[in-house]
Chain A
């Protein structure tokens, strides 16, 4: 065993540690370079998601059924990743759900602090087996009322404002029907 190894073992202590920590304001003082990438993307939604988005525009939530595992895939895909076979048919779902899980967020997308929390979570859609659903906002309920298992329904944008996006649903609210 090399001599330097033994020496090193004795020095796994602060003086043996490398790296100079700097404060946020110091970053502006030390030599640095900034840039803002100018990259724009246009993602084709694909075969399954294009139909899903078109149906949202009409105020409908649809999934793809896999007859082998009996799941209704929402978000839909043209193949089932578990059975690894083509999915069989489109199924329209009623637009009601229960809350699978949720968060009460005081952070916006860039981690800025916000005063009024965003209620967001995953919906477990009626008409499909468990764990078939997507993320969305919740509203018309308070952070104290929201809970797992709460029955909810989709609140849609007015038809003329819909543009074939997940945001054509404004949010899910406590079910009234």
Chain B
């Protein structure tokens, strides 16, 4: 891999997102249009300025239509332009902007619009009915699985291997749902939530309880990525994409080490190498790891090299990852607080780092000086991770 010699630098100059809610009246096309308009407005651009469009969206089964890329095209602003869909499950949230990055860094395009959309409420009676199609039809589906099982099994294995307490992990949910209070798009913000609330919430598939899980959601998000040398003309403080990485493990999930996601380590190494980061613990100022479950935030923080394996949960309980802590983690409120419209979490991962690093996060703004952030998403059959390092130059 030749990570240090891409053609060009690329920067984010605008971001936008819709409300995240369990059910939106808007169609997917209407949501993508609204998110795109916000991002373009913030960049001071119109669609005519955009050279190419990337659309990220997860399973077709949520919508019951094939080829969701084409289904959403008109709302995404891709008509008459080079246009492509990116789909790596939950990992789409960071993979779609990575695709946006390579469109620019390759030298092919100057200005690219990246959209991510998810409408999970259309499928009845519950998004789980669509998730059922993820499982292997021969080995897994005859056992009538629920997708929560797989996360529960991972969490159990993680807690066992590293001797991590459930209470320490649950403190992630408390932090993120409280952080989300400042987010105008949030679905599950709760200023009063306590550790007891999470610990005593309804058992789903133990050790996973209801408040350990981010909610299914509808929403759309967008970012505008442009050539680095154009960025300062478009916005006061552009945020540069200095490192990208991604990696996928085997689909044979029962053959994986469920306690520790080595593929996240590999994706992070690629992004850190490219960004010239040798010691992430010292060089990363803010993190937005993927947190669809509270245990995933800590597992991801460890795989991203920000904590030693097994230590992130206790650090969370000790307050080290609070917005005003040593390493602010998920200052957006994350998926646990703002909501989990799979691909559309772009807005609380890459979007949030853009707003944070450019000083535009309002009441969510991390107070200390932050220059370098890492964000990460995770998906497919819990096997894929995308990582992005963002910097204010």
Mark out the residues of chain B between 130 and 151 whose CB falls within 8 Å of any chain A CB in the assembled complex.
132, 137-140, 142-146, 148-149
Q: Which residues of B contact A49 (CB under 8 A)?
A: 138-139
Secondary structure of the B contact surface, majority rule: mixed
Would A45 and B138 be within 8 Å (CB), given that A109-B128, A134-B254 are in contact?
A: yes
B5 on interface, CB distance cutoff 8 Å: no
**Selected interface stretch from A7-15, A88-96, A153-161:** A7-15
CB distance from B45 to the nearest CB of A (A): 8
Residue on A nearest B136 in the bound complex, by CB: A75
Would A136 and B143 be within 8 Å (CB), given that A20-B24, A103-B149 are in contact?
A: yes
Contact of A108 among B124, B144, B184 (CB under 8 A): B144
CB distance from A102 to the nearest CB of B (A): 6
B165 on interface, CB distance cutoff 8 Å: no
CA distance A73 to B139 in the complex (A): 14
Are A17 and B254 neighbours in the complex by a CB distance under 8 Å?
no
Are A22 and B41 neighbours in the complex by a CB distance under 8 Å?
no
CB distance from A161 to the nearest CB of B (A): 14
Are B44 and A30 neighbours in the complex by a CB distance under 8 Å?
no
Are B21 and A106 neighbours in the complex by a CB distance under 8 Å?
no
Q: Which residues of B contact A100 (CB under 8 A)?
A: 157, 254, 258
CA distance A1 to B205 in the complex (A): 51
CA distance A43 to B141 in the complex (A): 12
Q: Which residues of A contact B80 (CB under 8 A)?
A: none
Are B184 and A148 neighbours in the complex by a CB distance under 8 Å?
no
Are A109 and B132 neighbours in the complex by a CB distance under 8 Å?
yes
Contact of B44 among A2, A20, A113, A133 (CB under 8 A): A2
CB distance from A1 to the nearest CB of B (A): 6
Mark out the residues of chain A between 3 and 39 whose CB falls within 8 Å of any chain B CB in the assembled complex.
4-5, 8-9, 12-14, 16-24, 26-27, 30, 34-35, 37
Mark out the residues of chain A between 53 and 108 whose CB falls within 8 Å of any chain B CB in the assembled complex.
53, 73, 75, 77, 81, 100-108
Q: Which residues of B contact A81 (CB under 8 A)?
A: 250, 252
Would A8 and B38 be within 8 Å (CB), given that A20-B26, A166-B143 are in contact?
A: yes
CA distance A111 to B18 in the complex (A): 27
Are A105 and B142 neighbours in the complex by a CB distance under 8 Å?
no
Q: Which residues of B contact A136 (CB under 8 A)?
A: 143
Would A106 and B204 be within 8 Å (CB), given that A22-B24, A101-B156, A111-B146 are in contact?
A: yes
CA distance A45 to B14 in the complex (A): 48
Are B38 and A18 neighbours in the complex by a CB distance under 8 Å?
yes
Are B234 and A1 neighbours in the complex by a CB distance under 8 Å?
yes
Are B149 and A120 neighbours in the complex by a CB distance under 8 Å?
yes
Are A110 and B126 neighbours in the complex by a CB distance under 8 Å?
yes
Q: Which residues of A contact B126 (CB under 8 A)?
A: 110-111
Contact of A104 among B124, B132, B206 (CB under 8 A): B206
Are B138 and A17 neighbours in the complex by a CB distance under 8 Å?
no
Q: Which residues of B contact A101 (CB under 8 A)?
A: 153-154, 156-157, 160, 258
CA distance A85 to B19 in the complex (A): 49
CB distance from A36 to the nearest CB of B (A): 9
Are B139 and A135 neighbours in the complex by a CB distance under 8 Å?
yes
Interface string of B230-260 (1 = CB under 8 A from A): 0001111000000000000010101111100
Q: Which residues of B contact A152 (CB under 8 A)?
A: none
B203 on interface, CB distance cutoff 8 Å: yes
Given contact pairs A5-B44, A12-B355, a sample of 4 additional A-B residue pairs in the complex whose CB atoms are under 8 Å apart: A9-B42, A106-B204, A110-B125, A120-B143
In the A-B complex, list the 4 residue pairs whose CB atoms are closest, starting with the nearest: A2-B44, A19-B19, A103-B152, A21-B21
> Can you list 8 A-B pairs with a CB-CB distance of less than 8 A?
A8-B41, A12-B360, A13-B362, A18-B34, A121-B153, A122-B153, A134-B254, A135-B254
- Which A residues are closer than 8 A to B by beta carbons? 1-2, 4-5, 8-9, 12-14, 16-24, 26-27, 30, 34-35, 37, 41, 43, 45, 49, 53, 73, 75, 77, 81, 100-111, 113, 117, 120-122, 131-137, 143, 148, 165-167
